[in-house]
Amino acid sequence: MSTTNQWNAKLYDDKMNFVSAYGKGVVEWLSPLPGERILDLGCGTGDLSAQLAQAGANVTGIDFSASMIAAARQKYPQVAFFVADAHAYQSAETYDAVFSNAALHWMKKPREVIRTVWHALAPGGRFVAEFGGKGNCEHVVQALRIALSRRNLSADERSPWYFPAVGEYTTLLEEQGFRVTLASHFDRPTTLPDGDRGLRHWLDSFCSPFFTGLSAQEIEAVCEEVTELVRPTLFQDGNWVVDYKRIRIIAYKEATNASPNAGERP
């Protein structure tokens, strides 16, 4: 069974643009400098890549979704965007920084992604990222478990997400050879746009793997059940507020250190 999300770039830009808005805080952690080479890992439709470019950086954006990259190229033709899988991405050049916002939790083999980041960085380079951490969207996840279990389906088997504890992820970084200088796991309740329709837009944008093999009628029923299950907790003053929990990290590939796992790529 595939756990690849079916991305709708227009819906993402129209209704999920809070993702890029919150990502501006991660850009502040990155503090890009003019002339720096920066890889945006999981760039989506390119809004934050373009912001980095406006700061004077030389930016390359990669994303697994061809539709997202097509939208990014149309919106920001001045930035280099490529379809690529971060689990196995290789580049002929190295980067001063690797940046990622709201993407790493879609990558379920974190060791492979961290190895990709390590090889992409020049000695002394930094890795700055934000992504979903342990407990992210837990109320919605639990509602999906209930709704799908009523149909003898497992939400956990279908989940496309990896939401680690902060200690788990920093340990993986350190095992690769990174020096983690900052790591934070924090609550960030997130208000969805479009009033009562907000949660359905969110489910349509991010939850297609849970609905694999279901008819349109069945998907509609599951979404209605999920909505009613979480309404008492997440619907507040006419808006949906999802229980986001995020991890932010800064880690360095120190110039004098070799990774214990940095041998040749297979």
Whole-structure pTM value: 0.89
The pLDDT assigned to 26 comes to 87
Task: Give residue limits of the domains in the chain.
Answer: 9-136+162-193+243-252
pLDDT over 80 (residue 161): yes
Q: How confident is the model at residue 262 (pLDDT cuts 50, 70, 90)?
A: very low
Q: Residues 222, 147: contact at Cβ < 8 Å? A: yes
DSSP letters spanning 191-212: EPSSGGGHHHHHHHHH-GGGGT
pLDDT over 90 (residue 146): yes
pLDDT over 80 (residue 31): yes
The pLDDT assigned to 1 comes to 37
* Alpha-carbon gap, residue 79 to 103, rounded angstroms: 19
Domain 9-136+162-193+243-252 homologous superfamily, CATH: Vaccinia Virus protein VP39 (3.40.50.150)
3-state secondary structure of 232: helix
pLDDT over 90 (residue 19): no
